[in-house]
Structure 1
Amino acid sequence: MTPEHLLTKAKSQLTMKHPYFGMLASRLKQEPKEGLRGYASNGKRFLYDPEFMGRRSIEEVMFILTNCVMHHVLSHQQRQLGRKGGLWQLATDYAINNLLHKNGLEIPQGANYNEEFKGMYAEEIYDALKESYYSDIDDAFGGEDDVPPPPGMPGGTGEGGEEEDDSGAFSNLGNIEEELDAQNESEWQYASSVAQEVAQRKSAMPSGMDRLGKKVKAADVDWRFELYNAVNKHMRNNYAFMPPNKKHIYRGIALPSLASDTLSLCVAVDTSGSINEALLGAFTEEFKNIMTIFPAIRIELIIADAKVHGHYSFQGGEKLDFPLKGGGGTDYRPVFDYIEAELPMTTMLLYFTDGDGWFPRIPPPYEVLWALSRPAKVPFGRGLVIFNS
């Protein structure tokens, strides 16, 4: 059987035995690539070394395909937050492979699998790995993201420190591209919802999916349309004399010009204890989307719970790197006080929160959009429910 036929057969068997996994695996376009270390997936294409694939059993190929697609649909990039990339990828691999084992898929020798992590979220596994094996990860690995599996555990090296045969490909975290572009990620989320619907009709939905971390999905309300309209309105109305409108300079008349490139949008992220990590990841991802869509706008980012923990300024194209500190109660007043004192030119505030906290008694002079994780009453501004958990 050729590698191409083997992959096709594996997808077919997955679709019959595990409809959810099979439908998702069928989305990957398989392409041979000689010299590749085993296989690799970027969310659209599944590249494989023909020699490596030719040595695989049908069960091993089913595992490979399923492991790849589960990395693509579980919002692991969104949930990473400030965690080390390599160690976070390893934690997600352990979580996924425990799920696959629970649902009857054969786990190949050398894959990142350990029963100690059974029933644990990727976030919990990450903390356990860091505490037990990588307590000083920056010193141990020079701050790099490439983190090897714990020694002596499945997916690690043998006693001699070398991988046996080619089983190391099953634990190679480089097989999965860590980041998906926004459109590709959206396509995977849609495909996952369709596959779930089909699997549920056949009473064949994989068990234990909830333990991989609750995904946060966009609400039915087209809140982005509301937000983008508001931003565009402020861009059109933001007149300034610097620089002047050059159209009438020759007549000796200095008229105001549109200064949309200097518009300052303020975004606040609620990091209080009532906001779990999945929501924080979702808030962060939406902030990145805003930066992508409005690259000419300077955005002031405020991190706060009952007090302001940080203020960062970004403009399109800049690297987004900021810590998410917090975990206390929720009091919105410090953010409004901070804006009044430090950002007096603010014309609009977008506040990511759950709507449960102390509000200012007097509304501010600028527009406020509350990006809510659940329905909640707000005393002023507009509330848009943007996520359903």
Structure 2
Amino acid sequence: MNDCLPTVDFAKLISASLLRLRMKSPFFGTLAMFARFVPSMTIPYAATDGRDIFLNPDFLQSLPSQQQDGILLHEILHAALLHPLRLNEREPELWNIAADIVVNGTISRVSGVELPPGGLRDERWEHLSVEEVYELLRETDTNRFKLTDLDILAMKAGDLGEHHPARGLTPPLAQQDRELLAAHWRQAIQQATSIARTTQWGKLAIGSEREFETVINPQLDWKAQLWRFLVRTPTDFQNFDRRFVGRGLYLEALQGESVRVYLAIDTSGSIGSETLRLFMSELNGILGSYPHLECDLYYVDTDLYGPYRLNVETPIPPPEGGGGTSFVPFFDRIAATYDEHTQAVCVYFTDGLGEFPPAPPVLPTLWVVTAGGLDLSQFPFGEAVRLV
């Protein structure tokens, strides 16, 4: 990296800011101890690749102390929450916008810390995970979100334009290094949480518990969760090789078996057209990946439309609905028609914002919940996973 020498005492600026952060918040002060700060005159402001936090010393010195703390905390959170690692194949700029919305929402709740001018905010989504915000951004007008050079997520050189200020700042990580980095920050979050609790800071009252939970306890991909449901039946299947979980594969041992899936798609007015297309795409994926299934499809708002008996060769009928949301009709119908001698599960695609039945159904239920939908812990029965 061809950087000019900084013209200020970078180490002194960082040391002072870290001391202030520890005084303002035991949690974030501890988290900051796991970060490594690198001066860089190549970038105009700040950047991180998840390993290092790069800061322009002249820019840092130009800020008042509360904003110095804000830009440091901004980059620390990007790194600790593994935002560069979690990018995967997503569109980098939209992902950076989503990550900024979550991080800046968290910082806004820390007393005595300010963001420099230009930080992105959207209070509607600040409590969500970045994956959820990203999906919501894909469904909305993003023109009002203008990503500045205030900070840069620079995980892969190929993600950056030819003249991007962070291009070449850091090489991409090998898979083993990615895993080590993720373990490093999980340990940091766990230690910071432990210290915060012993200093009367208590539960993370920062509005982004869901985002920290994403790092500490990564969610199993919902397709892998579905596979686990399909083999967890009253008789169970023997000799199941769980190395294949989540790969969209099925085993020879299952070819002679069949499982009925009662699948409900929420078509209420709260489900947008883009989300509905996503639901239909996932339904196609289920039918193509699990040929031993017998699938009964229902569209549901406050009424029930169906059932439609589907397999991989059956055309999927167009969605019906558009009214309010109630989960009761679907489960009432299944209770009335279910053959107890049939191996079966229920799968419900929804945002979770509706009326639940007063008692849980007999069949195991998997809720597949949209980005920004009901908190997974609020589902009264079954298992819930986020569709992101």
Q: TM-score range by the shorter chain?
A: 0.3 to 0.5
Normalised to the residue count of structure 1, the TM-score between the two structures is 0.45
Normalised to the residue count of structure 2, the TM-score between the two structures is 0.45
